[in-house]
Structure 1
């Protein structure tokens, strides 16, 4: 074989070319790596810049003193020094997500949950094609779910719950075939649930609870054979719930409560859903009966069927050993028969049971004796609003963890078992509207955690136990409408807040209200009506400044309403009716702006009714049966008061006094003026003479009537000091009335001077004076007038000089007798 120089030359050329290409590729790769190494830290710094509040200062490590892969909460990949995970969860951070997050192209996991991030989720997040986990829950993100999320084809877990997201659920999510978890609950999402979600064959968890979603639940969800959790509660879904979902054998949680769904439960429910742990369809419109197969779902921990339209009986639940909560309330279950509570006895093996609610049905029969034998953890029993009869079993004391016992509105009878006193954790005890008799046992004071107790509307007797004072957490105590007697124990006041109220009405309680009532400063309602309580209303009530309702009606209280009650400014209803209270209606009541109802009827109140505040509203005020009350708004229908205030602030009484005094003073002045004249006249004339007659007693009213209201038609003449009117009196006939103009300066002196002149001058040719009048007119002004005998011939001066005199008065006032 020969050696060719040409061949060697070609080989050498090829080798050089290969080396050049390799060098260029290496250089380009090195450049790319260097460029990519710059991309991630720059994007991270942009993310840091959008964080406005860093409570713990965790972002301080993000600086050039460290390689970015060593920055706090940053994890880079092993093969490439690129950011693979960013975890800023639970750091109390605020701000927004920078759009530069889309440049972290190797990012697989992004955790920002449990912070205070806001604004919209950037659409650039759709650039993260390697992203597998997006966890943004428990923040304040707004806006819509980005449509670009459908580009994140490797997404496995999407957690956006507990934010402020709006708009609809994107149908594009149905293209993310690797999705196993979708968490969209507790937002403000609207629209329907996309049927495309049925394509997600790997989906295991679908949470869309507490939104505003509507429409039907798509049948395609029945294709999700790997689905384990379906939570749609708290939306507005309607129509028939897809029966195919009840065939998803792996499903563990079905929570579709609080919607408008309807349909019936399949008879094989407990068999087909053998892995079911949580089943809640409460507050819907499901009908039919509860399938007996439900007991086969032996993994069941919560069975919640309340507030639907189920009928019939509750089947045996004997295989539900893990049951924690049973709720069949507010249906149409039962028919009042004696054996309808047998299902309770079947719970013997449910040793971890926490709550039983069967309220608002038609269950009959008696509570089983072993009611509390099966679980020492039972905390809540709700059997109210049924037809249950018989006694409360004495074994109730075995429920040592019991916190709520609600059995009102049944047909329970007998006495309250003493074993209830063994329930130290009991906080709420409602036994009202039954037929319980006997006394309230003193051991109720052992229930120191009791905060509400209602034993009203029974047939309980005896005294209220003072041991209730040991219940220092009581917010409400209702013992009304029983046959209780004796005094109100002072111990119940002050030891407990009673902020929801104390109700003792409709009993036979006697004695007075304890002064200790003032210790209950936070008491909201106090109803002691329809008892035999007596004495006065204690002033200590003024310390109960939180009172909104005070009802003391139909008792034997006496005395006046204490003025100290003016401190009860928050009262909305006040009833003091049907007592023996007296005195005036308290003025402070008209200033109670929040008062909506006031009943003071059938007492002995007296005086004028105010017209301000609640007294303006006749429909909110009851004052009947108080014979000595007057005035008030016309709608109250009471007689008007004789003494009313004038617009000028003077009472009529005061005006009458002023008028009377003025008339007395005026009459005295007239008598002083006329006394010398009359004395001399008696000496000259016999008692039978006409001049010896007594002066007429004329009032302003009589002169007003005589002169036709001082009409201008009756005017004889006028001057600066007054006017003269012609008048007619029933007894004296025609008269002349000189009315002084008191606005003119010197008019009063003219009146006095004229009286003095008439006292001194006596002549048979002078006109006869009949009387004088000094008083008050109907406008409250001073009024003075002289009354003369009327002479039709005019005056002498008028005949000689037909003009007016110097004083401006016509001379006709001095009449000739001839």
Structure 2
């Protein structure tokens, strides 16, 4: 009695196999609209990306078909032999060998298959000789691509994305796809090897390698590549990128095990972003002749950075490099802006042959002494060194940096008097959150226009400040120990704002100051 049910199950299984392997009979349909009408859901005749819909021509040939959030489409779809574009989004269509019927198909996109597709795609996929765009994403069981993919020689764009079991790209086969210009490998946690034949892609323009299991990546001689993104590859240890003649943008972020990064002969690179690579220790970049912008951030183990020979580099940003100890710049004739912030262990800064530097920001680096190499930046106009541990400036600052106009030293350790000898070329001076007790000598700051002195211990404003009547436009001296204000300051003819709140000025004195300054055009608070 138990044998008969078992035989019956085997009989049904054999029928199912025969059906799956058999070619679908397309002769039973009058036209393409008959084919789509038998689907168990509504199909709009007005094409939309976000609804189940088709586009057809005057001969009733369906040329585009989008199935969106509709389950269990009919396998009759494989009879749409004039189809040029097919998009399957959150649907359950099994990929049958009959896919070979799509000889005119140029674009195939499958996103969310709900486990319907098997571990392997049928070899007949390689017969889609017109295919130029292939996107496979959120396919639960798929493990690889068929070797027959090598026949898709018209393919220009390939996206493999968010497939938890995908682990193999046939190396030799994919190397035949020499017309590829866009390749995206993203969210493939079991993919451990990038095909070595990728170097055959001489027309490749955009490449993304994100969230894979690759540990070593070597890319070279992709002469048409212009945009490269390498992010969230959790065990990637080595990246070597060489001989990319047109590459203009590189984004390398969140590769937590990255130890070695080599960039060579990237003659067209314009933008380089390196961020959140937590194990990267040393970075040496040289001779990127077209590079204009570098951004490096959140790489906790990075200790040494050496940058040499950048003929067009304009801007460099380094942020939150908590273990950075040494930074060396050499031979960047057009570099105008350097920003190095939140790098508390920075000890050595070397500047050599940087004739165009105008802006330098070294905030939050906990520097205890002023780096002497800054004095070599003869074109420097703005220097920001907030939140450090500085207590003194070089005596030759004004003579060595004659073009310096803005100096921001907020939140440091400066004590007692304002700097002497005076900074005669400075126009803006920011000294809040220090421990200054006096600004005697301020009258010799002949070019000063803005002065900020909040949160110090200054007890008086010397009358010599009147020497700045023709230049000083704003002074802020809140939260100090002032007990009086020189009345003559109401006659400072260039002064527009004067803020001196939260001091020790008696109330009756404050009221008199308000009445005095209200007669002048100066906006003042006490």
Task: Pick the aligned partner of 1:457 from 229, 232, 235.
Answer: 232
2:105 alignment partner in structure 1: 324
- On the 8 A contact 1:498/1:524 being kept in 2, the answer is no
Deviation at 1:470, TM superposition (A): 1.4
2:292 alignment partner in structure 1: 522
- On the 8 A contact 2:65/2:83 being kept in 1, the answer is no
- On the 8 A contact 2:313/2:332 being kept in 1, the answer is no
Task: Classify 1:629/1:384 alpha carbon distance in 2 versus 1 (closer, same or farther; 3 Å).
Answer: farther
2:61 alignment partner in structure 1: 276
SS of 2:158's equivalent? strand
In structure 2, distance between residues paired with 1:526 and 1:325: 40
- On the 8 A contact 1:275/1:297 being kept in 2, the answer is no
Larger relative contact order (Cα-Cα within 8 Å, sequence gap ≥ 6): 2
Query: 2:304 matched to 1:534?
Result: yes
Deviation at 1:356, TM superposition (A): 0.9
Task: Pick the aligned partner of 1:501 from 238, 251, 272.
Answer: 272
- On the 8 A contact 1:385/1:408 being kept in 2, the answer is yes
Query: 2:456 matched to 1:655?
Result: no
Moved more, 379-388 or 480-489: 480-489
1:577 alignment partner in structure 2: 343
Deviation at 1:574, TM superposition (A): 5.0
Deviation at 1:554, TM superposition (A): 3.5
Task: Pick the aligned partner of 2:161 from 357, 364, 384.
Answer: 384
Query: 2:185 matched to 1:410?
Result: no
Task: Classify 1:431/1:321 alpha carbon distance in 2 versus 1 (closer, same or farther; 3 Å).
Answer: same
1:568 alignment partner in structure 2: 336
Task: Classify 1:340/1:601 alpha carbon distance in 2 versus 1 (closer, same or farther; 3 Å).
Answer: farther
1:765-780 correspondence runs (5 A): none
Query: 2:326 matched to 1:558?
Result: yes
Query: 2:48 matched to 1:257?
Result: yes
Query: 2:389 matched to 1:627?
Result: yes
Query: 2:247 matched to 1:447?
Result: no
- On the 8 A contact 1:296/1:319 being kept in 2, the answer is no
Query: 2:366 matched to 1:603?
Result: yes
2:199 alignment partner in structure 1: 421
- On the 8 A contact 2:35/2:80 being kept in 1, the answer is no
Point out the structure with max Rg over C-alpha.
Answer: 1
Query: 2:313 matched to 1:544?
Result: yes
SS of 2:210's equivalent? coil
Q: Give the count of matched residue pairs.
A: 372
SS of 1:322's equivalent? coil
2:432 alignment partner in structure 1: none
1:165 alignment partner in structure 2: none
Deviation at 1:375, TM superposition (A): 1.9
Deviation at 1:406, TM superposition (A): 1.0
Structure 1: which 5+ residue stretches go unaligned? 1-226, 229-242, 585-589, 616-620, 659-776, 782-818
Deviation at 1:604, TM superposition (A): 1.8
In structure 2, distance between residues paired with 1:276 and 1:614: 69
1:63-102 Cα shifts (integer Å, max 9, x gaps): xxxxxxxxxxxxxxxxxxxxxxxxxxxxxxxxxxxxxxxx
Deviation at 1:318, TM superposition (A): 2.1
- On the 8 A contact 1:582/1:606 being kept in 2, the answer is no
1:275-306 Cα shifts (integer Å, max 9, x gaps): 53411448xx6533443221011221222345
1:36-55 correspondence runs (5 A): none
- On the 8 A contact 1:328/1:358 being kept in 2, the answer is yes
Task: Pick the aligned partner of 2:417 from 643, 658, 661.
Answer: 643
Deviation at 1:555, TM superposition (A): 4.5
Deviation at 1:372, TM superposition (A): 1.2
In structure 2, distance between residues paired with 1:245 and 1:389: 33
1:292 alignment partner in structure 2: 75
In structure 2, distance between residues paired with 1:344 and 1:446: 33
1:54-453 correspondence runs (5 A): 256-258=47-49, 262=51, 275-281=60-66, 287-305=70-88, 310-316=90-96, 317-329=98-110, 331-335=111-115, 339-340=117-118, 342-343=120-121, 345-359=123-137, 361-370=138-147, 372-394=149-171, 395-437=173-215, 439-441=216-218, 444-453=219-228
SS of 2:153's equivalent? coil
SS of 2:125's equivalent? coil
Task: Classify 1:341/1:549 alpha carbon distance in 2 versus 1 (closer, same or farther; 3 Å).
Answer: farther
Task: Classify 1:502/1:633 alpha carbon distance in 2 versus 1 (closer, same or farther; 3 Å).
Answer: closer
In structure 1, distance between residues paired with 2:245 and 2:208: 18
- On the 8 A contact 1:376/1:400 being kept in 2, the answer is yes
- Please give the TM-score of this superposition, normalised by the length of structure 1: 0.37
1:147-194 Cα shifts (integer Å, max 9, x gaps): xxxxxxxxxxxxxxxxxxxxxxxxxxxxxxxxxxxxxxxxxxxxxxxx
Task: Classify 1:422/1:521 alpha carbon distance in 2 versus 1 (closer, same or farther; 3 Å).
Answer: closer
- On the 8 A contact 2:285/2:308 being kept in 1, the answer is no
In structure 2, distance between residues paired with 1:780 and 1:583: 46
Task: Classify 1:778/1:313 alpha carbon distance in 2 versus 1 (closer, same or farther; 3 Å).
Answer: closer
Task: Classify 1:579/1:568 alpha carbon distance in 2 versus 1 (closer, same or farther; 3 Å).
Answer: farther
2:244 alignment partner in structure 1: 471
In structure 1, distance between residues paired with 2:48 and 2:235: 41
1:135-154 Cα shifts (integer Å, max 9, x gaps): xxxxxxxxxxxxxxxxxxxx
1:527-583 Cα shifts (integer Å, max 9, x gaps): 594444426x657568411x37444824433379999899435x7x75462442468
In structure 1, distance between residues paired with 2:283 and 2:88: 50
- On the 8 A contact 1:513/1:533 being kept in 2, the answer is no
1:20-42 Cα shifts (integer Å, max 9, x gaps): xxxxxxxxxxxxxxxxxxxxxxx
SS of 2:197's equivalent? helix
In structure 1, distance between residues paired with 2:151 and 2:139: 24
- On the 8 A contact 1:274/1:298 being kept in 2, the answer is no
- On the 8 A contact 1:557/1:579 being kept in 2, the answer is yes
In structure 1, distance between residues paired with 2:271 and 2:34: 49
1:468-518 Cα shifts (integer Å, max 9, x gaps): 3311111233444154445745x24xx33222424375265555634535x
Structure 2: which 5+ residue stretches go unaligned? 1-30, 39-43, 351-356, 371-380, 393-405, 425-435, 444-483, 489-526
1:712-769 Cα shifts (integer Å, max 9, x gaps): xxxxxxxxxxxxxxxxxxxxxxxxxxxxxxxxxxxxxxxxxxxxxxxxxxxxxxxxxx
Task: Classify 1:496/1:290 alpha carbon distance in 2 versus 1 (closer, same or farther; 3 Å).
Answer: farther
Deviation at 1:431, TM superposition (A): 2.2
- On the 8 A contact 1:460/1:483 being kept in 2, the answer is yes
In structure 1, distance between residues paired with 2:176 and 2:438: 77
- On the 8 A contact 2:415/2:437 being kept in 1, the answer is no
Task: Classify 1:531/1:542 alpha carbon distance in 2 versus 1 (closer, same or farther; 3 Å).
Answer: farther
